[in-house]
Amino acid sequence: MTALKLGLIGDNIAKSSAPRLHGFAGAQNGIEVQYDRLVPAQMGEAFEEVFANCAPRGYRGINVTYPYKERAAEKVAIEDPLVKAMGAVNTVLFEPEGPQGHNTDYTGFIAAYRVARGEDAPGVACLVGTGGVGRALAFGLVALGASEIRLCDRDTAKAEALAADLGALPKAPRLVVEPDARRASSGAAGLLNGSPLGMDGIGGNAFPDGATKGATWVFDAVYTPVETPFVAEARAGGLQVISGYELFFWQGVHAWGHFSGTPLDEAALRSALAAPAG
């Protein structure tokens, strides 16, 4: 059986299902997968040291999650000009000529959106969190035809930098930087959480109570747990919910394509992941 050594660099990833996803993907293709959680603090190494040691330690590729996606983008070659403009990568391949960066959060979000909402346009969208995954979501909203994107982040400079990058795109929508989530969400059709708020070990809600009223759909990048307070409020209000699990699934499917180049039975993969671990 062919062997493939992969990993995930990130903080707070003890409950990540990525090892199971890639293990099942390998099983479909007769590939034995070793998929390691690489937490810099637990390894006693800085992110830069962990990353630099991946190729020497035999990793074919890695995924990168919070809070390292933008730092990873600085250490790889990026062929896709759109991903280069995003300035964040979540999938890295270690090639003989050096590490190559991709962003399957971007493609995964678009896939998850299309499955849930088909060709419906996002309308006015409010995005909280403009870091690594937030940047991918924002570029995805442009590709999906959002009429307006409101960017909300406690770090206003980060939100303004993203607005500038989005504004340079050929079909940029109206862009608004608004640090107050209540004002930013008022009147928006779509609400998106691109921050870690709601995640196991972090908690909280990116949107204030009542912010979902008047919206049509929501997306939460957090998938541990899937039912965050934000998602629970949206479901209770009858909004269409695109969960972080959908982003996890589709970014993983697309990452697997980069890692192995082999096809997947997506329905069978979903069923395998839905079964109890053990």
Condensed to tens digits (0 to 9), the pLDDT of residues 40-79 reads: 999 999 999 999 999 999 999 999 999 999 999 999 999 9
154, 99: one domain? no
Nearest Cα to Cα of residue 219 among 180, 249, 191? 191
DSSP string, 226-253: SS-HHHHHHHHTT-EEE-HHHHHHHHHH
Chain segment 95-129, per-residue pLDDT in tens:
999 999 999 999 999 999 999 999 999 999 999 99
- CA gap 226, 224 in Å, rounded: 5
Q: Which parts of the chain have pLDDT scores under 50?
A: none
Number of folded domains that form the chain: 2
Q: What pTM was computed for the model?
A: 0.95
123, 229: one domain? yes
| Geometric angle at alpha carbon 31, from 65 and 100, rounded to 5° | 40
215, 111: one domain? yes
Given the residues 15, 69, 84, 158, select the one marked as catalytic. Answer: 69
- Domain of 76, CATH number, reads 3.40.50.10860
Beta pairing, strands 31-38 & 190-193 = unpaired
6, 77: one domain? yes
Phi, psi values for residue 227, rounded to 5°: -95, 80
Task: Please report where in the chains the tokens 């960017």 appear, as a residue.
Answer: 151
Identify the domain containing residue 261 by its residue range. Answer: 2-103+247-274
218, 233: one domain? yes
221, 96: one domain? no
For the question of residue 69 being annotated catalytic, the response is yes
